[in-house]
Chains A and B, each alone.
Chain A
Amino acid sequence: MISFQRVSKCHEGVAAITDLNLHIQAGELLVLLGPSGCGKSTVLKMVNRMVSHDGGEILFNGKNINGFDVQDLRRRMGYAIQSTGLFPHRTVAQNIATVPSLLDWEPRRVQARVKDMLTLLAMDPKEFSHRLPHQLSGGQQQRVGVARALAADPDVLLMDEPFSALDPVTRAALQLSLKEIHRATGKTILFVTHDIDEALLLATRIALLKQGRLVQVGTPLELLQQPANDFAADFLGRSDGGLKQLSLRPLAPHIKALEGAPALHTISHTATLKETISLMATHRVSVLSVVDDHKAVLGQVQAADLLEN
């Protein structure tokens, strides 16, 4: 879908991006991860030509992005940044309708789309359509930002640290919403963050950058298990890397048949290993009953089994 081929970028004589080769598959949620100033945001902005690249080629659907009309290209890519990006003088509905209106959709179609988008982001269209951005909470503003980016049904969604200004609870809720939207729509998403936990939670693949160079690309588990070098190991959290892996592993394979009476404390069968161990530590027990969505007991898990494959 998007392909970087030997891409480089100089900023005032200093190399900002060096020899970047990266191929993003359709339907991926690729997270560009790295410390501040590593160039991850620049990489994102090069895709919709908000920043031009100096060397190499960037292909979108197999075609060089410089071959597109720049406005046409941008309208085909949803774009979400921190809440500052909403238009303060336009209502929620008008904000979401921005790109559809630029594309001259019929008003009825735009209206219907706005309603769908708000519903998708778990906001009541009746309640929120006519509000102005400053009448929303930070989390709601960001939801509108995501809805606006998705409104014209773009091929690609570009997200530049969209949740970084939010409080942890709101951020977690929005991360889950985004994950759900990605699962439901199958959109290709390019997501920039410096937050390793956010990256591990959302990504199908992570591209780790350092000083404008690509350090490693792979699934979250691959990065945790086989970091390419010391920088990768440090950035992913050398000491608690194991704990992070647990958060990526499901509980399901470790469920055993019930032995005797069910344990007092229960856990959902969709939980991760991290959640399971956390619950055991909280209650100071080594056995938990596993229940399904309807609270029916499926079996049990034992602490000793969890760390073995």
Chain B
Amino acid sequence: MPLSLVQRCNPVLALYLALAMGAAWSLPFLRLAPNRLLTGEAIYLRDVLLPHGGQGGAAWLLVLAALLCVAIGLPKNRAFQAGVMVAMACSLAGAWLLAGHFARSVTPADNMYARTTLGSGFWTLCALAWMAALDAIHRLQLSTLQRLLLQGALWLPLLLLLHAGQHLSIAKEYANHRDVLLPALLRHLQIVLLAVVPALGLGLLLAWRMTRVPPWRTAVFTVLNVIQTIPSIAVFGLLMGPLAWLALQWPSLGHAGISGLGMAPAVLALLMYALLPIVRSALAGLEQVSQGTVHAARAMGMSQRQVFLQVELPLAWPVLLIGLRTALVQTIGLAAVSALVGAGGLGQIMFDGLYSAANELVMLSVIPIVLLATLADTFFKVLGALMRTPTK
């Protein structure tokens, strides 16, 4: 039976392609500026593709429209979805290649200051291609592991062609900041781990206590919910006073790195934010452990500790992982803001970029943050898929 147009059409893909056409047409793909502080002159995709004043803009639109028609008309089988995925991976690399190629052709070799920056059109196209590819991967209906592998493979063509963009402004910013980028990344990781690892321990302890002493539940959740509603910058500020006072009272604390500025308030605030998702999931995990199982464990002569470590924790673990994932991703993002109290990390570079209106520098610090968060998320998804133990 022939499928109707509506059934054959993937509205998501059609929407992405239509948006892409709009972005390609109306948003500047690149900007050419005499130096890094100026916004520069807009360059559209049609100018890049057709160097002669955009005469072929209509032709370019026609190509996209034809693609759209093909996309609507083709049967939506797995081969089609795989094709979309490959096409989108190539588009990502292609956009980068085009931008890099253009930058090389317009930048004079002796001009140190001229910049070719990536425009909003470039970012929009990349984002749309990425989302279209994710949609295609989703429609392939693979196992979690296979899906995650494909999502990683999506970036392979772009990574292989990374050197093609060396004349772009972002590559120049990277060259100028490469010696601070790695230490900033490590510092960022340090802040995140110093916050999340103790939060995990403390959260588990609190959740365990809450299962034993029910009145603790209301009290702990009230406090944690209030903390969650305070904006992070305010918490950093609120912590500065008391910590500075502590460091003054006990100079040994100050020597150990505790003070109103720097790592201490950042780590402490992030720890408090991470507690809510961890405690909530730990409690949910512990509560779904069957009472009969715990009863049997005790009756066979396990100590409280053994019951917790050998029975309750392993059975609560899959649920706890979800909260830990949330906490980790949230902390990686929030840690950027902690640069405001002098904690350093990738946020430091981000704020430098913001203050000097250097968008490429901002991107240079945001991309690793996004990458870190995605990696953490993926790691926990893989872990969750690998250890899907029955809980009942």
Contacts and interface: CB of A to CB of B under 8 A. Distances in A.
Q: Does chain A bind chain B?
A: yes
Interface of A: 45, 48, 50, 71-75, 79, 81-82, 84-89, 98-99, 102, 132, 134, 148, 158
A85 B293 contact: yes
Given A81-B292, A82-B292, A88-B391, A99 B315 contact: no
B337 to A, nearest CB: 39
B300 A89 contact: no
A102 B302 contact: yes
Given A84-B290, A84-B292, A84-B293, A89 B390 contact: yes
B292 A85 contact: yes
Given A50-B299, A87-B315, A98-B300, 6 more contacts: A45-B299, A74-B298, A82-B292, A85-B295, A86-B293, A89-B315
Contacts of A86: 293, 296
B316 to A, nearest CB: 10
Given A88-B389, A134-B390, A81 B301 contact: no
Nearest to A80: B296
B299 A72 contact: no
B144 interface: no
Contacts of A84: 290, 292-293, 296
B390 A79 contact: no
Contacts of A134: 390, 392
Interface residues of B, number: 20
- Listed from nearest, the 9 A-B pairs whose CB atoms lie closest are A84-B292, A85-B296, A74-B301, A75-B301, A79-B299, A71-B301, A134-B390, A89-B389, A89-B314
B390 to A, nearest CB: 5
Interface string B63-93: 0000000000000000000000000000000
Q: Residue among B290, B293, B301, B392 with the most chain A CB within 10 A?
A: B301
B238 to A, nearest CB: 42
A71 B306 CA distance: 11
Q: Residue among B293, B296, B391 with the most chain A CB within 10 A?
A: B296
Contacts of B391: 88-89
Contacts of B303: 71
Contacts of A71: 301-303
A99 B292 contact: no
Contact of B299 (A74, A82, A89): A74
Given A88-B391, A89-B314, A134-B390, A102 B293 contact: no
A301 B370 CA distance: 88
Contacts of A82: 292
B299 A48 contact: yes
B311 interface: yes
B305 to A, nearest CB: 11
B81 to A, nearest CB: 34
Contact of A102 (B295, B301, B314, B315): B301
A268 B306 CA distance: 51
B297 A87 contact: yes
Nearest to B390: A134
B256 to A, nearest CB: 40
A301 B138 CA distance: 76
A82 B306 CA distance: 22
12 contacts: A45-B299, A50-B295, A71-B302, A73-B301, A74-B299, A74-B301, A84-B296, A87-B311, A88-B315, A88-B389, A89-B314, A134-B390
A75 B297 CA distance: 11
Q: Residue among A71, A82, A89, A158 with the most chain B CB within 10 A?
A: A89
A45 B298 CA distance: 12
Interface string B362-392: 0000000000000000000000000001111
B311 A99 contact: no
B300 A74 contact: yes
B389 to A, nearest CB: 5
B310 to A, nearest CB: 8
A88 B390 contact: yes
A48 to B, nearest CB: 6
Contacts of A148: 300
B306 A88 contact: no
Contacts of B306: 102
B275 to A, nearest CB: 26
Interface string B7-48: 000000000000000000000000000000000000000000
A228 to B, nearest CB: 32
Contacts of B315: 87-89
B314 A79 contact: no
A48 B314 CA distance: 26
Contacts of B290: 84, 88
Contacts of A88: 290, 293, 315, 389-392
Given A99-B301, A102-B301, A81 B389 contact: no
A145 to B, nearest CB: 8
A121 to B, nearest CB: 17
B319 to A, nearest CB: 13
A158 B390 CA distance: 28
Contacts of A45: 299
Q: Residue among B290, B299, B302 with the most chain A CB within 10 A?
A: B299
Nearest to B299: A79
Q: Residue among B295, B300, B306, B314 with the most chain A CB within 10 A?
A: B300
A90 to B, nearest CB: 8
A263 B315 CA distance: 62
Contacts of A48: 299
B296 A81 contact: yes
Contacts of A99: 300-301
B296 A79 contact: yes
A99 B298 CA distance: 11
Nearest to B317: A89
Interface string B268-304: 0000000000000000000000101101111111110
Q: Residue among A73, A75, A88, A102 with the most chain B CB within 10 A?
A: A88
A48 B298 CA distance: 10
A84 B290 CA distance: 8
Contacts of B299: 45, 48, 50, 74, 79, 81, 85, 158
Nearest to B389: A89
B295 A81 contact: yes
A140 B361 CA distance: 64
Contacts of B389: 88-89, 132
A98 B306 CA distance: 11
